[in-house]
Amino acid sequence: MASASPTPAPGMIDAHGRHIEYLRISVTDRCDLRCRYCMAEKMTFLPRRALLALEEIAIIAERFIARGVTKIRLSGGEPLVRSDVGDLVRRLGAHVGHGLHELTMTTNATRLAEHATMLADAGIRRINVSLDSRDPDRFRYITRHGDVDHVLGGIAAAQAAGLRVKINMVALAGLNEDEIAPMLAWCVDQGLDLSLIETMPLGAIDEDRTDRFVPLTRVFDALSGTFDLTRDTYRSGGPARYWRVADSGTKLGLISPLTANFCDGCNRVRLTTEGRLYACLGHDDQVDLKTALREGGTAALDAAIDEALRIKPKRHDFRIEPGAAPAVARHMSVTGG
């Protein structure tokens, strides 16, 4: 796939004065796991004809680079289940150092072992791996059928390829809360970073999220009694606040959309696999970049992006309450994690 050089374009500042520098792209809504807090067991995925072609994703991403986006994260669903994702990684990786500062990926790592070298060769330097438990039985329960050995093997392959790995762990009451401290200790031992995430009310699932919600304020207090944690000014471009674990290279990140709203500094927009641009994870307002690109080319694409900046809300409306409907009907896998 030939790469086209982005042409100059207006910058990206939303109606609240925030500079948008970070684009998350869901390359597929499909996943080979069915994590209980993320998906229903029986999911209906988009028909393949509704998805953006790889070339279209690349053109849209390059337009964002031209407009000042410096970080792109590829996600899903599970991005590595899309057979042609390597072509996209290589094309976007060519922009690293030429307008794009960083290209990253979030993966469940079930297929990472076979792709780690390709990702590193293409320009990715760090990845996030979703891992909520290292216990085989518990991991299988949370994911409904996953094999944790595949994930651990993928992490090892990524490190061998020279990729920096951060573990993303969703804190879940009654499921993995007792594993959080051991997970951090394991990350320190393995030279990994760890981000803890509060469960988010996105999409209908088969359980009540209220029963699983763990406030990270409580988790941090518990971890502080075991680990020497020092506030770190490091910013990854995302919503996490970081602490450094003493006598190690490990950083602990906390992503707390409910107990510590992070919207004031939001610098992100999200492109779905069907070409819809969501300016906020917690709202349904969106613009259709696929139609804009197909019917009007770059000019229409720029106009649609401008509209997304205009409608980007000041903050999300996430709430965790018994019996409350999800903040939005779409699942995280549709918008991109």
- pLDDT tens-digit series, residues 44-76: 888 888 899 999 999 999 999 999 999 999 999
- Which residue type, as a one-letter code, is found at position 101? H
Q: Which pLDDT value is given to residue 93?
A: 98
Spatial distance between the Cα atoms of 166 and 131, rounded to a whole number of angstroms? 10
pLDDT digits (tens, 9 = 90+) for 117-145: 999 999 999 999 999 999 999 999 999 99
Q: Which pLDDT value is given to residue 16?
A: 86
Q: Which residues are annotated as a binding site for [4Fe-4S] cluster?
A: 31, 35, 38, 263, 266, 280
If pLDDT is split at 50, 70 and 90, which confidence band does 114 have?
very high
Question: Is the per-residue pLDDT at 38 higher than 90?
Answer: no
Q: Which residues are annotated as a binding site for GTP?
A: 24, 73, 106, 166, 268-270
Q: Which pLDDT value is given to residue 313?
A: 81
Q: Which residues are annotated as a binding site for S-adenosyl-L-methionine?
A: 37, 77, 130, 200
Q: Which pLDDT value is given to residue 6?
A: 47
If one compares 258 and 76, the residue with the highest pLDDT of the two is 76
Length of the chain counted residue by residue: 337
Q: Which pLDDT value is given to residue 295?
A: 97
Q: Which of 74-83, 184-193, 197-206 has the lowest mean pLDDT?
A: 197-206
Spatial distance between the Cα atoms of 101 and 92, rounded to a whole number of angstroms? 11
pTM score, whole prediction: 0.87
If pLDDT is split at 50, 70 and 90, which confidence band does 155 have?
very high
Q: Which residues are annotated as a binding site?
A: 24, 31, 35, 37-38, 73, 77, 106, 130, 166, 200, 263, 266, 268-270, 280
- CATH for 22-335 (3.40.50.261, 2.40.50.100, 3.20.20.70, 3.40.50.300): 3.20.20.70
Nearest to 292 by CA among 280, 308, 303: 303
Q: Return all residues near 221 (Cβ < 8 A) that are at least 6 apart.
A: none
